[in-house]
Amino acid sequence: MPADIFALDEAYTAIERDARALAAGLTDACAEWRADPSSWSVAECLDHLATANRVYLTAMGPAAEAAVARGQRRRGPAVPGLLGGWFVRSLEPPVKPRFKLKSPTKIRPRSAPSFSDAMAAFLKSQEEVRRFLRAYEDFDLAGVQFPNPFIPGLRFSLATGLHVIAAHDRRHLWQAWRVRHAAERAVAA
């Protein structure tokens, strides 16, 4: 496995490990607690990530399959380009106030998902991301573009998409940890 692919795979491993640590010992009451009606619970953060990961992979799939059909083999490392790199960095935690955006409707979490369902959906989406990475690791991830599923007319490389997924996962796990700590304080009070 090339070093850049290994690094992405390790990033997804770290994300899954972080999610499992987040879930460890977390009661349903804390996992489904919200600071206020407009904020998300831990369960909603995980549900949002599962949905966003699926939407991104669905958008990336046809471009990846076309690259396979064309025989567009790997030419270099799977790293984002200039614009893609900026976008990935903007997603990384801690969340900066000027980069807080409302989530697109198609990836908003379900209303009050159960914690067990949200966690299972997130872990399944992580498996799908890793399966995608391994299936296409020998193809030109940095050279093949797909249409961004949220911004019409914008195209990202598959490499950028894979890095976006990781950064977005880290962002909302960071958020979920903050919610967990607030929930534990509120439930204990």
CATH number, domain with residue 144: 1.20.120.450
Enter the tokens of residue 133: 């990475």
How does pLDDT run across 94-135, given as a tens digit for each residue?
877 666 678 888 898 988 899 999 999 999 999 999 999 999
How does pLDDT run across 150-187, given as a tens digit for each residue?
989 999 999 999 999 999 999 999 999 999 999 999 98
Torsion of CA 33, 34, 40, 44, to 10 degrees: 20
What pTM, to 2 d.p., does this model score? 0.95
Selection from 156, 153, 152, 185 nearest residue 168 by Cα:
156
Number of domains, the chain: 1
For residues 68-87, average pLDDT = 94
Position 15: which residue type? I
Position 114: which residue type? S
User: Could you write out the three-class secondary structure of the chain?
Assistant: CCHHHHHHHHHHHHHHHHHHHHHCCCCHHHHCCCCCCCCCCHHHHHHHHHHHHHHHHHHHHHHHHHHHHHCCECCCCCCCCHHHHHHHHHHCCCCCHHHCCCCCHHHCCCCCCCHHHHHHHHHHHHHHHHHHHHHHCCECCCCCEEECCCCCCCEEEHHHHHHHHHHHHHHHHHHHHHHHHHHHHHHHC
User: What percent of the chain shows pLDDT beyond 70?
Assistant: 98
User: What percent of the chain shows pLDDT beyond 90?
Assistant: 85
- The confidence score (pLDDT) of residue 124 equals 98
| Domain containing residue 62 | 3-188
For residues 85-96, average pLDDT = 89
